[in-house]
Every structure is written in C-alpha cells, then in structure tokens.
C-alpha cells in the first residue's frame, strides 16, 4: 500500500479535526467523506459514502471512519 504524502496527511488530519471530530458524539463507526472545502457526506456503508461523495463532489474527498484513526483519499 502506498504511503500517504505528508502534506496530504496533514490536510486529512486538519479536515477530520474540524469536520469529523464533532460527529463522534453521535456517529462513531459510520463513514464520512470530507472535501477540502469542508463539505461532507455521512453514512453507515463505506461504499455508499464513496459513491455519494463522488456523485456530489467529484473525486478528491478524504474518507474517514468516525471515531477511528483511519484515513483514505479517493481520487
């Protein structure tokens, strides 16, 4: 698996802190896609969230599992 570029990791961390962490109180275990400008899609299925994010925002969202230290970037 390729390593995440340091700048991309910093961006993903900042986006999660600002937009994802507030979701932890009611959505732990769900998935959230977050764009660089803060738009979000939330759901219980990773594939559904990925599909909705691409449909609504195009490629480039960061994908997180709320409440866990896992991150992905969908191109």
Residues 25-69 pLDDT 10s:
999 999 999 999 999 999 999 999 999 999 999 999 999 999 976
Q: 64 lies in a domain?
A: yes
pLDDT of residue 9: 87
Structural domain boundaries, residue 18: 6-73
Q: Which two tokens stand for residue 55?
A: 């449909």
Q: What contacts 62, CB < 8 A, 6 or more positions away?
A: 11, 12, 15, 16, 33, 34, 35, 36, 71, 72, 73, 74
For residue range 3-14, what is the model confidence (pLDDT) as tens digits? Answer: 568 888 899 999
pLDDT of residue 5: 84
Q: How many independent structural domains does the chain possess? A: 1
Q: 1 lies in a domain?
A: no
Q: What contacts 50, CB < 8 A, 6 or more positions away?
A: 33, 63, 74
Q: 14 lies in a domain?
A: yes
Tell me 15's DSSP state. H
| 11 vs 55: CA distance, rounded Å | 22
Q: 41 lies in a domain?
A: yes
Q: What is the pTM of this model?
A: 0.82
């Amino acid at each position: 698996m390729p390593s995440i570029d340091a700048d991309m990791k910093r961006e993903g961390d900042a986006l999660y802190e600002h937009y994802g962490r507030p979701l932890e109180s009611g959505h732990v275990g769900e998935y959230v896609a977050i764009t660089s400008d803060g738009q979000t899609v939330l759901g219980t299925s990773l594939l559904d969230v990925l599909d909705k994010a691409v449909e609504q925002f195009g490629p480039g969202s960061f994908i997180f599992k709320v409440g866990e230290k896992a991150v992905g970037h969908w191109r």
